[in-house]
Amino acid sequence: CSPAGGGPVPVLFCFSVFARPSSVPHGAGYELLIQKFLSLYGDQIDIHRKFVVQLFSEEWSQYVDLPKGFLVSERCKVRLVPLQIQMTTLGNLTPSSTVFFCCDMQERFRPAIKYFGDIISVGQRLLQGARLLGIPVIVTEQYPKGLGSTVQEIDLTGAKLVLPKTKFSMVLPEVEAALAEIPGVRSIVLFGVETHVCIQQTALELVGRGLEVHIVADATSSRSMMDRMFALE
């Protein structure tokens, strides 16, 4: 029964093996349910996981994903289910657990990539910082026979790897082997071109391997600013 006058609605909140009765205001939605779960089970919920809220359906006699736009209007039972995928969280960078990835900053891209001079300048500072902090640097060059080597302004002194590639992602077998040799790698600082192709594909592959990826926006560009904008989003 819906409570008279829009008062509190009884809700059973289930998480793992626990089930705790409580109540929420009439018309409460997803955000309030999440807040209630946190108040009831906050000490047991890993906030670095992704979750889904499910509602017990009498029609199906089982839990179903919370319908879009759901508002609590009557007594119900909900549960919080952690997904198997663990979210990668972005935190402070620590030199001992960080690797810099410099992607395809090559001569043939100079006339085509917007603000190429600016991203070269920022890239120079990033590599200088990496040398000062002892952070390994991995560099790739897309088909260097046709597109040329890394621009002369980028000083690759001390780079751990400089590799040619013919696929978009920087995650080559040699790169994976190099990462495996560095104990405790957690963070990748990624920059270069093009944002919507090689940078995006590299980021997706690294995130899929459980690494956190920091993209340096002012050292990353494309021929089209629209491509760049949507890739960064």
- 65 counts as catalytic: no
Task: Name the catalytic one among 103, 114, 198, 227.
Answer: 198
Which residues lie closer than 8 Å to 164 by C-beta, 6 or more apart? Answer: 140, 141, 142, 143, 144, 145
Residue type, 183: P
Query: Which three-class secondary structure state does DSSP give residue 107?
Result: helix
| DSSP notation for 22-58 | EEEETT--HHHHHHHHHHHHTTT--TTEEEEEEEEET
Integer angstrom CA distances of residue 4 from 1, 19, 78, 192, 209: 9, 26, 22, 61, 52
Q: Verify whether residue 165 is a known catalytic residue.
A: yes
CA angle 69, 70, 72 (to 5 degrees): 145
The label of the residue with tokens 């119900």 reads 76
Does 145 participate in catalysis according to the annotation?
no
- From the list 165, 167, 218, 227, the catalytic residue is 165
Name the active-site residue from 50, 104, 118, 227.
104
Compute CA distances 213 → 15, 93, 100, whole Å: 31, 10, 10
H helical segments located in the chain = 30-41, 116-133, 144-147, 173-181, 200-208, 225-232
Give me the active site residues, please. Answer: 104, 165, 198
